[in-house]
Amino acid sequence: MLIFNNKASLNAHLVQLREQEKTIGFVPTMGALHKGHLSLIERSDAENDITVISIFVNPTQFNNAEDLEKYPRTLERDIEKIDAVNNAVIVFAPTVDDMYEGNTVSGHFSFDGLENQMEGKHRPGHFDGVGTIVKKLFEAVEPDNAYFGEKDFQQLQIVRKMVEKEGVNVKIIGCPIYREPNGLAMSSRNERLSNDEREEAGFIYKTLIAAKERYTTDTPDAVRTFVEKAFQNNTILKLEYFEIADEATLMPVNNKTEAKTRAFIAVIVGNVRLIDNISLN
Ligand code: AMP
């Protein structure tokens, strides 16, 4: 495994690989790796000559200072985990200064309104931060293919939109959500949950499954009410939002449609915020 801590050394290495016409797959992460991340790495490895994994906790996408401070940083363990599944990859773990060159601020992006829904409403500035770092990382790596999890479905659609609008030459590949045995979507933030909270958080996916079943007969509004009621009596999990939205536009769906539709949820557990989603049709 090769590990690079700055763009210049990464680029010096990648230049040679590009000259040899090797295809480059890219998996951007913020570290604290779990099986969901590893599944993206395996997919990239199967579909490309070279896989680059970035590990970088991007300060500009955090709208909450405590969340940024408490975000788990476990670089040595992450490297061991990657090494155990594949020791022929490239890890790019730059510093904030190297990525931002002393100017740690977001650019401003328009994602045709995708940024105004759900996570965008609840995390002001979040998607400007995501757009900024993904653009910088794409410039540093110049991948042929880049792998993103459907766990962050809104982010996946926003990255697709950015690539389309800015004409970046990369194929974006969405990958399925990996879950704990109790259904909880794997997330680096799960490390901050107590055992009881982690167990109880299985309720999020159980409710999404129940919502999906109801959606076969009920209206979108009836399903929204069902989910809100389901969380009302839960003392551990606080519902932040539940939405049923069009996958392409992310606009709320009020009447059943043939268009691909998905349910999205955000829940607060203690001081940890969890998100999940499920395809409805
Ligand atoms: P993160 O480190 O949380 O920024 O995630 C890095 C990438 O891994 C993103 O594309 C995420 O959507 C993806 N990812 C995170 N959790 C999961 C999961 N449980 N299953 C599949 N992909 C995931």
Amino acid at 260: K
The response to whether residue 126 sits with its C-beta less than 6 Å from ligand 1 reads no
Residue 37 is a catalytic residue: yes
Distance (Å, rounded) from C-alpha 41 to C-alpha 44? 5
| Residues sharing a CB contact under 8 Å with residue 49, sequence separation 6 or more, in sequence order | 17, 22, 23, 24
262, containing H or E segment: strand 261-269
Give me ligand 1 centre to Cα 180, in Å: 14
Which residue's CA lies nearest to atom 14 of ligand 1? 149
The response to whether residue 178 sits with its C-beta less than 6 Å from ligand 1 reads yes
Distance (Å, rounded) from C-alpha 262 to C-alpha 218? 15
pLDDT digits (tens, 9 = 90+) for 143-172: 999 999 999 999 999 999 999 999 999 999
Give me ligand 1 centre to Cα 261, in Å: 21
pTM of structure: 0.98
The response to whether residue 94 sits with its C-beta less than 6 Å from ligand 1 reads no
pLDDT digits (tens, 9 = 90+) for 101-122: 999 999 999 999 999 999 999 9
pLDDT digits (tens, 9 = 90+) for 170-180: 999 999 999 99
The response to whether residue 41 sits with its C-beta less than 6 Å from ligand 1 reads no
Q: Which of 13, 34, 37, 122 is catalytic?
A: 37
pLDDT digits (tens, 9 = 90+) for 55-100: 999 999 999 999 999 999 999 999 999 999 998 999 999 999 999 9
Residue pair 127/10 in contact (Cβ under 8 Å)? The answer is: no
| Residues sharing a CB contact under 8 Å with residue 33, sequence separation 6 or more, in sequence order | 55, 74, 77, 78, 81, 82, 188
Q: How confident is the model at residue 273 (pLDDT cuts 50, 70, 90)?
A: very high
- CA-based max dimension of the chain: 60
The response to whether residue 153 sits with its C-beta less than 6 Å from ligand 1 reads no
62-72: b or e for each residue (b if 16 or more CB lie within 10 Å)? beeeeeeeebb
SS (H, E, C) 156-212: HHHHHHHHHHHCCCCEEEEECCCECCCCCECCHHHHHCCHHHHHHCHHHHHHHHHHH
Quote the pLDDT of residue 49. 97
Give yes or no for residue 233 having a pLDDT over 90: no
Radius of gyration of the chain (CA): 19
Distance (Å, rounded) from C-alpha 239 to C-alpha 227? 9
Amino acid at 97: D
Q: Pairing state of beta strands 261-269 and 272-279?
A: antiparallel
Q: Pairing state of beta strands 261-269 and 237-246?
A: antiparallel
* Average pLDDT in the chain: 97
Distance (Å, rounded) from C-alpha 191 to C-alpha 270? 13
Give me ligand 1 centre to Cα 186, in Å: 8
Helix axes 202-215, 220-232, angle to 10 degrees: 150
pLDDT digits (tens, 9 = 90+) for 32-51: 999 999 999 999 999 999 99
